[in-house]
Chain A
Amino acid sequence: MDSDRSLVDAAAAGDRDAFDELVRRYRVQILSLARALLANSLDADDIAQEVFVRVWRSVRGFRGETTFKVWLHRVAVNLIYSQRRRLWREHRVFISAHTDEDLSQAERAASAENLEADVTLRLAIDRALAQIPIDLRTAVVLRDVQGLEYKEIAETLGIPIGTVESRIFRGRQRLRPLLRPLYGRRRASRQARRPAG
């Protein structure tokens, strides 16, 4: 049962308030997806907005063959892939990970406040993600960051569920050495945040 269905139906009939509610439900997820897959590129925010604009334009044609969440993620992934190809063609510069200088700057700032700690953690994770191939990255992000089910990921990407499993397995293997130092730091950060007594 698609919990968004009634809102989607209302939005398809032109109800802008219903669509705004859908935006409120998913804007954090879509922004996170864009930033995680585009390595926090400046274009990520623009792409996240464009996802909702495209969906608003075409919501009338949504047939309900999948859930709204899957459809939204499919639109988002397609737009993000297009953007990566465009950037690659125009600038001949791969959307790269943040440099070590960026991270160390962020790391220094992060020791002060939890907010900065979150930013640091996010930057570090995105930096690791940017170092693995995009197909593995997409599958891992959809599963572990976005929390989609395996079946939903298969529907989003239009690939068999076995391929999804394989990509997630290999993606995590590639991420293991990149995230291992972070894992210890995350635990330490959690302990430091715990109120004393």
Chain B
Amino acid sequence: MLSCEEAARSLLYAADDVTLLDAAARAALNDHMSHCAECRRELRDQAAVATVLRTRPPDVPSLEFSAALRARLDDTNGWLSLADWRRWTVRLLPAACILVLAAFVAPSHTSVRPGSALRDAPVISGSEASEAILWDFGAPPDAVVEAMLTGPQPQGTGQ
């Protein structure tokens, strides 16, 4: 036979609706109930409380409630279109393409102009400069770190 603790779960469901229990659980609960006055009382009380709560009248929204909700949803519509990243992504696509193209083209315009003093400077590639510093055991640690992090060192003008 079920103990009171074991019966509690079935009792809870039986208080809601006894058909929630399968035949075996119902039979076990009935068997327990026939011997346990306390569980019979518990079942009655659980069912009574559930019944009262189920009769709580629903809260019908007022006209003001519905109007206020509609207004808030309308406001949200506007906010949503601003926050719609998909729409913004599409709109900004041409500008993004131009920026990408500009990024590719820009280095060729910043190369050494004819007549510049840089034209006559000894050409030292970035990797050579970095390598030179890395092999210079007398170089200060800050310069070594900077060379590793920033790549080519600024070169002199050759003057």
Contact = CB atoms under 8 A, between A and B. Distances in A.
Nearest to A129: B53
Contacts, number: 97
B56 A36 contact: yes
Interface of B: 8-9, 12, 15-16, 45-46, 48-61, 65-66, 68-69, 72-73, 76-77, 79-80
Contacts of B15: 172
> What does DSSP make chain A's interface, helix, strand, loop or mixed?
helix
B52 A122 contact: no
A88 interface: no
Contacts of B57: 118-119, 121-122
Interface stretch (A49-57, A63-71, A90-98, A100-108): A49-57
A119 B59 CA distance: 9
* CB-based closest 6 A-B pairs: A144-B53, A118-B57, A172-B49, A32-B59, A31-B59, A49-B69
Given A27-B69, A172-B46, A144 B54 contact: yes
What is the size category of the interface that chain A forms with chain B?
Answer: 35 or more
Contacts of A179: 48-49, 52-53
B73 A53 contact: yes
A142 B68 CA distance: 26
Contact of A169 (B8, B65, B72, B80): B8
